[in-house]
Structure 1
Amino acid sequence: MSYKPTSFVCDSTSQLVEGCTLSVRMQKTGLWKRAEILSIKTEGGKRQYYVHFLDFNKRLDDWVGDDDLNLSSVRFPRNRHRQRMELSKESRKKLPDEDHTVSDEITKSQQSQLKQKSVHEIKNVQWIELGRHRIKPWYFSPYPQVMCAQPCIYLCEWCLKYVLSATCLGRHLMKCNLRHPPGEEIYRKNTISFFEIDGRRSRTYAQNLCLLSKLFLDEKTLYNDMDPFLFYIMTVFDSRGFHIVGYFSKEKMSGENNLACVLTLPPYQRLGYGRLLIEFSYALSKCEGKTGSPEKPLSDLGLLSYRSFWAQAILDVLINQKYNDSENKITISINDISEKTAISPEDVASTLKHLNIIMYYKSRYIVCVKGDMVKNHLKTKTKPQFRIDADCLRWVPKEWNGTLGKATRH
């Protein structure tokens, strides 16, 4: 239900309720931005407010204190206040033959459901520790409540098991005999490896991986059934073992979709690993002899990563395409580009449009790549970057039967 906020003279933070909007100081930057209060709690006698900064990604949602609030511009949610007043009046009504015990239980149940629904919008894990990295999560993930009550959740970087304390983790590591993801290594070049994990065979690992990734992917959907999915884990190797950098998943019977979910863990972001994960998904599509496309819609970061990859792959094809001597021009179709890159025709067309290099001329569509675009593209290619070497891939496509329990090689 939409509501119209109204100006509200606020003399004290004690008057603030969920749904109020006001200016809030961002803890990372110190800037004051408009935000909505999503939840309020009291700890150690002090009130804390969980806020969402309007027009910003939910990964910036955070708990703030009284000192971070500017009370001079509070706007109060009028309809929500009215609804609360009506609910309060309704709860005071007494019916002649009312069973108070049952009524109270229903009210408690409804309140619990509303509270749980609210909690799902709020970050519930303060920190996680994974190997040498301590990471602050971006979003909610349904770890057990007893875990979320701790300042930090400790994860085994080999099997992703979660425990309550560093002491518990130390005891677990003495028993855990893994030093790489529990699957088949299908790619290795220098220190980078990929492991293929079958969700059916490594169900616990897959579930723990999904819980971990939900902390950093807002739109990720968690499934209890891991059987229909394959997980491709990218790792970097050192003397201690194969450390997880990121992964992507795909359904075993996914049709054209060659990727369901992709994540590079925060310590490894902005280093080129995300692009490598995407490139690897298309390397598998080439082995299968078909084009691929990620499941839509993409997240904001995912869309940026894919557009960058698509643009580079497509420009590579266009720039290296040879002239047709008989016509003294380059002739290539969207389907030709799709076959060379394994990128679906729809994604090729959308990328050409996004790059603004496709136009309608003399009753036909043509692609016009300007000199400065070629120069920038070639300059980007000269920068050091990770690339997939197809010769290092040791993988044969599988055909999955209807139960997803068994696979046959092509």
Structure 2
Amino acid sequence: MYASIVHQVYRKDELSVWQVDGRKHRQYCQQLCLLAKFFLDHKTLYYDVEPFLFYVMTNADDEGCHVVGYFSKEKNSFLNYNVSCILTLPPYQRQGYGRLLIDFSYLLTKVEGKVGSPETPLSDLGLISYRSYWKEALLRRLCSAPGPTLCIRDLSKDLAIASSDIVSTLQERGLMKYWKGKHIVLKKQEVLEEVSRRAYRARCVEAACLRWAPPACGAPPR
């Protein structure tokens, strides 16, 4: 990766994320898309990359920065998609990088002051990764939330996750009911105790390491 080609918008230790504009660096982004077509059956975009920003995650060692995966994001999505395509390269799968990419996409969504959801259809592995991320994010939030119940709107705002994704995840875990015209989130003690016992320690991105402002605001990456 070359600094003249992309902007480094995140760095913590050996992990970096680089923003690449599909309009300014069309050939590079097309090559990323062509690479993704080898591993994603539903991947069709590879020519019209100009409406997208690409966020490439790398892992650094003594030999340089190695691409572990990326996601693309529409510059202006009317449906609030925060990811158009997401890929972790096979040598780096099942090492937590897919979750880091998802976590980073939601960090950007939070900075934008929005809620988001990935564009569908997702690959089989992508769907598994997202369901796992939503479940853990929600259960961790329920563990720290005061009171016996929460509303979907508050959870969506806090986590930047679309309400529909929250509802489907909570329904799967039996943590939601419809009461007096509203969906109410339940805090089942046995589920919270299960989360505490597991002491979930997945790697997460850190907001303090982000050097990025929403492009729509007219501010370049810092």
> Structure 2 length as normaliser, TM-score?
0.91
The alpha-carbon deviation at position 364 of structure 1 amounts to 5.7
Structure 1: 5+ residue runs without aligned partners? 1-157, 159-177, 324-329, 400-406
Q: Please, which of 248, 255, 258 is the counterpart of residue 82 of structure 2?
A: 258
Matched, 1:338 2:161: no
Q: 1:338 to 1:266 in 2, by over 3 A?
A: same
Q: Please, which of 133, 146, 164 is the counterpart of residue 309 of structure 1?
A: 133
Question: SS of the residue aligned with 1:250?
Answer: strand
- Residue 58 of structure 2 corresponds to which residue in structure 1? 235
Q: How does 1:344-383 map to 2 (within 5 A)?
A: 344-360=162-178, 365-383=183-201
- Residue 70 of structure 2 corresponds to which residue in structure 1? 247
Instruction: Name the CA distance, whole Å, in 1 between partners of 2:77 and 2:183.
Output: 32
Instruction: Name the CA distance, whole Å, in 2 between partners of 1:274 and 1:282.
Output: 13
Matched, 1:201 2:24: yes
What value does the CA root-mean-square deviation take over the aligned residues?
A: 2.1
Question: SS of the residue aligned with 1:409?
Answer: coil
Matched, 1:408 2:218: yes
Structure 2: 5+ residue runs without aligned partners? none
Q: Is the 8 A contact 1:181 1:195 kept in 2?
A: no
Q: How does 1:63-212 map to 2 (within 5 A)?
A: 158=1, 178=2, 182-212=5-35
Give the aligned residue type for 2:133: F
Instruction: Name the CA distance, whole Å, in 2 between partners of 1:196 and 1:239.
Output: 22
The alpha-carbon deviation at position 381 of structure 1 amounts to 3.9
Give the aligned residue type for 2:81: N
Instruction: Name the CA distance, whole Å, in 2 between partners of 1:231 and 1:279.
Output: 15
Q: Could you give the per-residue CA deviations for residues 205-261 of structure 1, whole angstroms, max 9, x where no partner exists?
A: 111111111111111112312111110000001122111000000111113110000
Instruction: Name the CA distance, whole Å, in 1 between partners of 2:4 and 2:190.
Output: 44
Q: 1:379 to 1:249 in 2, by over 3 A?
A: farther
Instruction: Name the CA distance, whole Å, in 1 between partners of 2:190 and 2:46.
Output: 46
Q: Is the 8 A contact 2:10 2:210 kept in 1?
A: yes
- Residue 216 of structure 1 corresponds to which residue in structure 2? 39
Question: SS of the residue aligned with 1:332?
Answer: strand
Higher RCO by CA contacts (8 Å cutoff, separation 6 or greater): 2
Q: Could you give the per-residue CA deviations for residues 306-335 of structure 1, whole angstroms, max 9, x where no partner exists?
A: 111111111122221113xxxxxx342100
Aligned residues: 219
Instruction: Name the CA distance, whole Å, in 2 between partners of 1:284 and 1:308.
Output: 19
Q: 1:372 to 1:271 in 2, by over 3 A?
A: farther
> Structure 1 length as normaliser, TM-score?
0.51
Further displaced range: 253-262 or 222-231: 222-231
Q: Is the 8 A contact 2:12 2:209 kept in 1?
A: yes
Q: Please, which of 279, 286, 306 is the counterpart of residue 110 of structure 2?
A: 286
Q: 1:353 to 1:235 in 2, by over 3 A?
A: same
Give the aligned residue type for 2:150: I
The alpha-carbon deviation at position 387 of structure 1 amounts to 0.8
Q: Please, which of 100, 112, 115 is the counterpart of residue 276 of structure 1?
A: 100
